[in-house]
Amino acid sequence: MQHKTQTDISEIQFLEGPQSRFTELKFILATLFELIRCFRKLYNIGPCITFFGSARFNEDHPYYDFTRKAAGEYAKLGFTIMTGGGPGLMEAANRGAKEVGGKSVGCNIKLPVDQMPILILING
């Protein structure tokens, strides 16, 4: 059995319906501060293009090659390439940026299944 964090418990309580005004205010403020903290971490990456894509395509798939080349071209234009930091097309995009000396950032999130964090890159 997985141990629930205070954040998990707060989210469950929030989704169960109306709470006291004080409880809802605390939840909103905590969410706001978390959002501000995230924006501050990403502040210096500059203009970016985000690649969403499957983690299931490997190097020999045409979509992997297309994504790698497209990300490289955008990186040459000065855009930071941002992905979910996982394998497959996200890896291809980060790799494409790196190959041309561009910046890439992998922003990993916590998922209950499917994806394990691999690497967060900031090149350039």
> Is the pLDDT score of 96 beyond 70?
yes
pLDDT at 116: 55
User: Sorting pLDDT into bands at 50, 70 and 90, what band is 27?
Assistant: confident
Q: Does residue 96 contact residue 81 with C-beta atoms inside 8 Å?
A: yes
User: For the chain, what are the domain ranges?
Assistant: 6-42, 46-106
User: Sorting pLDDT into bands at 50, 70 and 90, what band is 111?
Assistant: low
pLDDT at 12: 77
Runs of H (alpha helix) within the chain: 6-15, 21-42, 62-76, 89-99
pLDDT at 117: 52
Architecture of domain 46-106: 3-Layer(aba) Sandwich (3.40)
User: Sorting pLDDT into bands at 50, 70 and 90, what band is 9?
Assistant: confident
Runs of H (alpha helix) within 47-101: 62-76, 89-99
> 């297309």: which residue's tokens?
66
pLDDT at 7: 66
CA–CA separation, 87 and 115 (whole Å) = 9
CA–CA separation, 74 and 52 (whole Å) = 15
**Tally of CB atoms within 10 A around 92:** 27
CA–CA separation, 108 and 41 (whole Å) = 13
CA–CA separation, 124 and 112 (whole Å) = 32
CA 65, 71, 74, 76 torsion-angle sign: negative
The model's pLDDT over 32-78, given as tens digits with 9 standing for 90+, comes to 999 999 888 888 888 999 998 888 899 999 999 999 999 999 999 99
- Regarding predicted confidence, which is higher, 16 or 119? 16
The model's pTM is: 0.67
